[in-house]
């Protein structure tokens, strides 16, 4: 029965949790699908590593595009319809991706998926803040983050199951492997459709935000919405409080209105600090590690289903440690957890970078030895010749090459031959890139230039394949990285949004801060494959560690401790005033 306020509150939390689940699937689903998508893209569509990077980053780019508009959309049509739009967009993106027959529909489907994620990331927490009783508001924010991590685990489980099926085919029927790989990544996306449909169905039974209704003069529906999750007297009391607060600005004098200017210190400083925290949150590289976990572990020494098991372990650790963070955040405080988490991130990233440096140190640059094999703008080296280059032992060749703007990264293992041929066709140019080129700005090169470009070997390292022991050490570093992120930044970032942002700017402030958050993540995801292809993983990990040092310093010296403080007390901190002695310090923030 959903008639009691307690059951209605649980239902609201469950639907909001499904929103977090979709957000997690948005980020995590590509990790399990990427190895098979790379194989299909190379064999069927001749996509470059940049284009694959754009496919991975498209979800984050879509989030950038929708995050800024999410607040305005929620204001225009309401929180409930906006959440329904987000769920429908996610559900529509799945068949567009899974049925894609080329680069453009695949990219558009991922963009659509990202748009839904950006809407969910802004509107669901906003709906929770406006609809939940104060006594469970913190639990709602924590549940959104917890279900987000569960979404990552679900995506990893889907990838793991499909990986085992593909591995079985590879052992029994290698000739069918290309077709099975192409079907595998499509099946991974199909399996993520169900949560989207459940979220859409769940949103239909929700009430609209009472504060949004009251702002439009709909007092009776607002009272009914409050009464669904509160006792009758509590709902009436809260409605009166909301009415008194909304009436105050209308009766304010000109001086009071000026005092509330958005350029005041109490608005600007917390807004800038929240933006810094969210930008640094993505600059840790968390989203890229989750998206490329299988690929990273494969390069570290864990191949096949072991890499997928490692990916599953990362997502599971993320969820379990998030539970611990939810328990500790109101006991130990935000600053302590952020400092603990960012410190652990720096150590684990540096350790992983040193491992990959040691792997690269044992490899030889064989570009001069490969040059004589280039004929007719193509490079063909059979397995026997590669074995001679490796002095007859087992080997692994990591090669990055380009035809003009089209770059590819490949790993050739013992027994395989190297066959590089110029592209015969380019599937899809960047529409955005074409628009910028007309303005004489070229952040997205015209990939069609690759058709007439000479072959260029950017990087060719030959050496012993990494052992499984090294792979386990890489996994240990990544587990420590994920656990450090989950215990601090993973939970505290949503609290920073809700606690640092003053009420007057919370809706638009959240949109702008999340826009910056997703922009940073998009840039990192877009440059990840080309960077590691030409320079290896170590520079990327060291770069993330340097950004996390900035995060640690911001948490240690700039971020106020907001545990147990009211929003008014936090506002007084940014106004430069001391807290009044009569304010109870143990009141929980809304």
- Which residue, 17, 329, 308, is CA-closest to 149? 17
For residue 503, the model assigns a pLDDT of: 57
For residue 346, the model assigns a pLDDT of: 95
Q: Out of 1.20.1250.20, 1.10.8.60, 1.10.10.10, 1.10.150.120, which CATH number does the structure's domain 266-361+466-559 have?
A: 1.20.1250.20
For residue 88, the model assigns a pLDDT of: 93
User: How far apart, in whole angstroms, are the C-alpha atoms of residue 371 and residue 369?
Assistant: 6
For residue 578, the model assigns a pLDDT of: 47
| Burial 68-94, CB ≥16 within 10 A → b, else e | bbbbebbeeebbbebbbbbbbbbbebb
Residue 583, H or E segment? none
Tokens of 35: 């190895």
**pLDDT beneath 50: ranges in the chain:** 1, 248-261, 428-432, 435-437, 439-443, 566-568, 577-590
User: How far apart, in whole angstroms, are the C-alpha atoms of residue 333 and residue 566?
Assistant: 14
Tokens of 125: 């927490």
For residue 590, the model assigns a pLDDT of: 34
User: How far apart, in whole angstroms, are the C-alpha atoms of residue 129 and residue 212?
Assistant: 12
Q: What are phi and psi of 411, to 5 degrees?
A: -120, 120
Looking at the chain, which residues constitute the CATH 1.20.1250.20 domain(s)? 1-206, 266-361+466-559
For residue 441, the model assigns a pLDDT of: 44
pTM of the complete model beyond 0.85: no
User: How far apart, in whole angstroms, are the C-alpha atoms of residue 144 and residue 14?
Assistant: 9
pLDDT in tens, 206-218: 888 888 888 788 8
Give domain 1-206's CATH architecture. Answer: Up-down Bundle (1.20)
- Which residue, 159, 148, 445, is CA-closest to 293? 159
- Angle at 145 (CA atoms; ends 114, 472), nearest 5 degrees: 85
Contact 274, 497 (CB under 8 A): yes
């Amino acid at each position: 029965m959903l008639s009691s306020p307690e059951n209605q509150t649980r239902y609201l939390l469950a639907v909001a949790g499904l929103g977090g689940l979709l957000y997690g699937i948005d980020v995590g689903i590509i990790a399990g699908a990427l190895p098979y998508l790379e194989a299909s893209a190379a064999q069927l569509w001749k996509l470059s590593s940049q284009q694959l990077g754009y496919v991975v980053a498209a979800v984050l780019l879509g989030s950038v595009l929708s995050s800024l508009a999410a607040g305005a959309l929620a204001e225009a049509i309401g929180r409930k319809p906006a959440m329904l739009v987000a769920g429908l967009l996610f559900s529509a993106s799945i068949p567009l991706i899974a049925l894609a027959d080329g680069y453009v529909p695949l990219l558009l489907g991922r963009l659509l998926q990202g748009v839904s994620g950006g809407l969910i990331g802004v509107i669901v927490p906003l709906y929770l803040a406006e609809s939940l009783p104060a006594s469970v508001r913190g639990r709602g924010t924590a549940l959104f983050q917890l279900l987000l991590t569960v979404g990552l685990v679900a995506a990893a489980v889907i990838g793991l199951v499909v990986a085992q099926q593909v591995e079985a085919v590879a052992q029994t029927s290698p000739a069918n492997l290309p077709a099975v790989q192409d079907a595998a990544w499509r099946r991974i996306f199909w399996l993520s459709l169900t949560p989207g449909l459940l979220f859409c169905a769940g949103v239909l039974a929700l009430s609209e935000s009472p504060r949004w209704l009251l702002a439009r003069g709909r007092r009776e529906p607002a009272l009914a919405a409050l009464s669904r999750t509160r006792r009758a007297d509590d709902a009436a009391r809260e409605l009166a409080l909301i009415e008194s607060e909304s009436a105050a600005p209308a009766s304010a004098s000109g001086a009071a209105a000026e005092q509330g200017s958005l350029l005041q210190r109490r608005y600007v400083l917390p807004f800038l600090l929240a933006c810094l925290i969210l930008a640094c949150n993505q600059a840790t590289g968390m989203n890229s590690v989750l998206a490329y976990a299988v690929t990273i572990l494969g390069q570290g020494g864990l191949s096949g289903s072991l890499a997928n098991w490692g990916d599953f372990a990362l997502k599971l650790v993320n969820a379990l440690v998030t539970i611990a963070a939810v328990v500790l955040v109101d006991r130990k405080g935000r600053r302590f957890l952020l400092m603990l988490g960012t410190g652990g991130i720096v150590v684990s990233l540096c350790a992983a970078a040193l491992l990959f440096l040691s792997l690269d140190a044992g490899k030889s640059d064989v570009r001069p030895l490969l040059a004589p094999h280039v004929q007719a703008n193509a490079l063909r080296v059979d397995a026997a010749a590669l074995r001679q280059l490796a002095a007859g032992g087992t080997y692994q060749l990591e090669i990055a090459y380009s035809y003009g703007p089209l770059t590819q990264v490949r790993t050739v293992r013992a027994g395989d031959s190297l066959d590089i041929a110029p592209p015969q066709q380019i599937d899809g140019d960047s529409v955005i890139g074409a628009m910028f080129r007309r303005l004489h700005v070229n952040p997205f090169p015209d990939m069609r230039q690759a058709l007439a470009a000479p072959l260029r070997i950017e990087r060719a390292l030959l050496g012993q394949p990494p052992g499984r022991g090294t792979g386990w050490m890489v996994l240990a570093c990544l587990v420590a990285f994920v656990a450090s992120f989950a215990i601090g930044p993973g939970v505290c970032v949503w609290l920073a949004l809700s606690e640092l942002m003053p009420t007057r700017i919370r809706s638009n402030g959240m949109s702008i801060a999340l826009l910056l958050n997703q922009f940073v993540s998009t840039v990192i995801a877009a440059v990840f494959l080309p960077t590691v292809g030409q320079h290896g993983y170590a520079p990327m990990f060291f770069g993330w560690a340097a950004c996390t040092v900035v995060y640690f310093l911001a948490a240690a010296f700039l971020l106020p401790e907001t545990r147990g403080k009211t929003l008014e007390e936090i506002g007084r901190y940014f106004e430069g005033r001391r807290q009044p002695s009569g304010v109870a310090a143990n009141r929980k923030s809304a």
